[in-house]
Amino acid sequence: MNLVRRLVRWSIAAYAVLACTNDPYPSTDAPVKVLYRPFDEAPKTLDPAVAYTTTAHDISGLVNATLLEYHYLKRPYVLVPGLARAVPTAELRGAQTVYRFELLSDLIYQDDACFGAHHGGARTRPVTARDVEFELMRIADPEVNSPALEPFAHVVDLLAFRQRLTALRAADPAVAVLPVPEQYARARRIAGVAVTSDTVLELALAEPYPQILYWFTMPFTAPMPWEAVAFYDGQEGRPHLADHPVGAGPYRIVEYDKQSRIVLERNDNWHGARHPEWRAPGTVFPVDVPAEDLGVTVPNTTPGAPLPFIERVELRREKERIPAFNKFLQGYYDASGIVKESFDKVVQNDRLSPEMSERGIALRKSVEPAIYYVGFNMDDRVLGAPGGNRAQRLRQAMSLAIDAEEYLRLFLNGRGVPAQSLLPPGIFGFEPAYRNPYRTPDLPRAKRLLAEAGYPGGIDPATGAPLRLTFDTGDTSAEGRLNYTYYINSWRRLGIDVELQATSYNRFQEKMREGGFQIFNWGWVADYPDPENFMFLLWSKMSRKANNGPNTANYSDPGFDALFLRMKAMESGPKRLSIIREMRRRLEEDCPWIPMFYPEQYSLYHGWLHNVKPFGMSTPQAKYYDLDPALRAERRRVWNRPVLWPAFLALGLLLALVAPGIATFFRERQ
């Protein structure tokens, strides 16, 4: 009898082997509209006043609703209302420029414990104009340290409020332990932010700054409930606000495991879900679909259909890109870029390969409003401003040694446009015919400049050895090391010895803030489609070291600054272009950057994912996506059929081994 029981157990085990699958998701998810995406490293913070990375905005932009948005399909980009009833227009009131925002009524936040802690068990509360004011005060708060401070310095009294708050805390340490709203009230509210009712907020600027409206499309200015700031302080088992955003957007975070997965679900409190009858912009699929998108980008969606279509967004951590791409090919991720190792298999003759097309995969290509560059620390005594003309010649020589086209071919399969300046295509001021005199590779000229800099043959006269520099990076992978070795080898041809210093991403960020570096590699994706959003990357007031801004090179030139201040408030036209050209000329001579390339996005989407149009900027658009879970489940079954013959062979061998024992058992029973 024991032998029979063992046989039954073995048979069950064999059946389990035959029935197994490599599907990483529970079978109950198969019929659900879940968007699956990978992430390699969780964002450092999701606090909307602080978060300034694409990874963070991919999450916080779904949780937080903004006053304004972009039309999903139109190019050039067009502003549309979000939580506001309309896109406000500038109104001149004396010397001030005023924008009047009127919020939609009956807006509420997602359900969250922070409200119950302050309002007797309440699950949510209304969104008001005071919450927008509160977030603007947080941007001004030096303890929050928001990178969005500079654009809002145009708001009347905002910087003075910052000073009053700082002085108040310094004068009375007890103030610092008061609830944040009370601290702000004691510092007196910002005069340029007038809340005239629960739904109306007026913003007064000391001078014209038309780009201010673009900042209201970003989470920085999303309404923030003070209760969330007070509650999520990391005390008594509560998470920090950096890990628990509370918003009024189309999704809410239901699981946040930085080492494993991040899950967002539809927020039933979002005004698009509660009031589909409003048909408010940004809550329904666009009705005015451009002709180029008909039947291509939006083949299966009815214009005007209520959003969002996706029920859940799930991000799984993938430390390496190749496994993530392989899971995409298996159907376990819905969209993907193309890893270098598989590019020739996926793209042939600049088109999707027949193999990929047969699988129903679609390819979308677009040049992004973004730039990647190599930067120099302009505070460094060897490479930066303290080094004077010889440092300038050194930077120019190093720029002439780098071939961006070759770099793109070697590392990105040619996916990009070699950059001549910091302005990418599609941004006013980009001129296709312009050529930077220090960006056409020229090794002989580079060597002459290096000699003029006092380093003939790359030799440092102070040591008699090759000039030694350091290149910092937050990428410690083997692929990253190979990537940076390209730059090092290019400079080695000049005789310069550059050492790669690879650390963790967080330590790398710290070094950038502290200014403890010489050379770095960075990228910038447009926050909004205006040249000001690129030129400000080299404005002295945006210095990373001094003000925690995005000017990581710590570049400072009074002439450039003066031109920037004139250009940024102007409407685009011939006068503005003339100023941009002069700014460009100064940058090409000073060479604080080596402009490398404008990235060209090659994105792959499975045939079950619909309504996808590359957006370019770091604004998540998942609420517009739709998918067919039945088609996805069927394709996964076809593409991931288990290999059964080893299991059948094992079962056959097992039966062959036990058959004599079974026969003996039954003979003895008789």
Mean pLDDT per 10-residue interval, the chain, length 670 residues: 50 47 89 96 95 91 97 90 97 96 98 96 97 98 94 97 97 93 96 98 95 96 98 95 98 96 98 96 92 67 90 96 95 94 90 94 91 97 96 98 96 93 93 96 97 96 96 90 95 97 88 92 90 95 88 96 93 94 97 97 94 87 95 96 61 61 59
The predicted structure's pLDDT at residue 7: 46
- pLDDT at residue number 471: 96
In order of 498, 544, 547, 575, the CA distances from 145 in angstroms are 34, 12, 9, 35
| 524 sits in which H/E element | strand 519-525
pTM for the model: 0.79
- The per-residue pLDDT for 527 is 84
Q: Which DSSP category does 341 fall into?
A: G
Q: Going by C-beta distance under 8 Å and a sequence separation of 6 or more, which residues neighbour residue 609?
A: 35, 334, 335, 625, 626, 627
Q: Distance between CA atoms of 134 and 136, rounded to whole angstroms?
A: 5
Q: Is the dihedral of CA 132, 133, 138, 142 positive or negative?
A: positive
Backbone angles phi, psi at 464, to 5 degrees: 75, 5
Q: What confidence score (pLDDT) does residue 20 get? A: 53
Residues 6+ apart with CB under 8 A from 585: none
- Overall residue count recorded for the chain in this entry: 670
CB 161 within 8 A of CB 152: no
Note the pLDDT of residue 559: 97
Q: What is the pLDDT of residue 296?
A: 62
Angle formed by the axes of helices 645-669 and 2-19, nearest 10°: 160
Q: What is the pLDDT of residue 8?
A: 45
31: which 2 tokens? 């019929």
Reference 322, options 303, 305, 345, 304; nearest CA is 345
CA torsion sign for 23, 25, 30, 36 is: negative
pLDDT of residue 238: 96
pLDDT the model gives residue 616:
83
**What is the dihedral sign for C-alpha 157, 158, 160, 165?**
positive
Could you tell me which residues are beta bridge partners of residue 465?
A: 460
CB 594 within 8 A of CB 522: no
Contacts 24+ apart (CB under 8 A), 267-271: 267/63, 267/110, 269/108, 269/109, 269/110, 269/111, 269/124, 270/65, 270/110, 271/65, 271/83, 271/104, 271/106, 271/107, 271/108
| pLDDT on residue 110 | 98
Can you give the pLDDT at residue 4? 47
Residue ranges of alpha helices (H) inside 462-520 are: 478-492, 505-514
Exposed, middle or buried by CB within 10 Å (0-12, 13-18, 19+), for 85? middle
DSSP SS3 for 366: strand
Q: What is the pLDDT of residue 655?
A: 59
Query: Tokens at residue 562, please?
Result: 């003066």
pLDDT at 658: 57
Q: 574-590 and 558-568 are packed helices; what angle lies between their axes, rounded to 10 degrees?
A: 160
Position 18 scores a pLDDT of 45
The per-residue pLDDT for 331 is 97
Per-residue three-class SS string for 266-294: ECCCCHHHHCHHHCCECCECCCCCCHHHC
Given the structure tokens 């780098």, which residue do they identify? 402
